[in-house]
Amino acid sequence: MSAGTQIADTAGAVLLFLGAAVSLLGAIGMVRMPDVLSRSHAATNPQALGMLLVLAGVALRLRSGIDLGTLGLVGFFQLLTGPVSAHLVARVAYRTGYAGREGLVFDDLDAQLSAVPQDGEGGTGPGGGR
């Protein structure tokens, strides 16, 4: 085994280690954060940065073309689907009152949501869930 491949192996192992460390920090944040939105902030850590670091590490250790393509697809779909679920969870958390409103500095959405039932009938309102 030549020196170049050994360097790539070790760099891949270091990237995997860093990705696992970021994932562990995100999990610790999920346990220790106080409410849903800040836990969602911590949960993004292993989903985006930790995942990309881990995939880059594996790509450096397995250096063949089709494996790189599969790893690229994994990273692409992970980055595509993470914001969807985070957005839906945060939306429902706000509208059902789990968001911890006393910690918010600005709350422009509250005025708009409160205005809906007064203006027209049939509005779903803050707890409507749509």
Partner 1 sequence: MSAARNVDQVLLTAAAVMILLAGALVLYRVWRGPSMLDRAMALDVCAALMIAGIAVRSALNRDAFYFPVMLVLAFLGFTGSVGIARFIAVRDRPPDPTRAGEEGR
- The number of C-alpha atoms within 13 Å of 80 and in the hemisphere containing its C-beta is 6
Question: Rule CB under 8 A: which of 6-25 touch partner 1?
Answer: 6, 9-10, 12-14, 16-17, 19-21, 23-24
Give min distance, CB of 117 to partner 1, in A.
Answer: 13
Residue 96 binds partner 1 (CB under 8 A): yes
Q: Please tell me the distance from the alpha carbon of residue 81 to that of residue 108, in angstroms, as a whole number.
A: 27
Q: Please tell me the distance from the alpha carbon of residue 66 to that of residue 74, in angstroms, as a whole number.
A: 12
Give min distance, CB of 72 to partner 1, in A.
Answer: 10
The CA angle 110-116-117, to the nearest 5 degrees, is: 115
Residue 101 makes CB contacts below 8 A (sequence gap 6+) with: 107, 110
Residues in contact with partner 1 by CB under 8 A are 1, 6, 9-10, 12-14, 16-17, 19-21, 23-24, 26-28, 30-31, 36, 39-40, 43, 46-47, 50-51, 54-55, 57-58, 61-62, 64, 66-67, 70-71, 73-75, 77-78, 81-82, 84-86, 88-89, 91-93, 96-98, 101, 127, 129
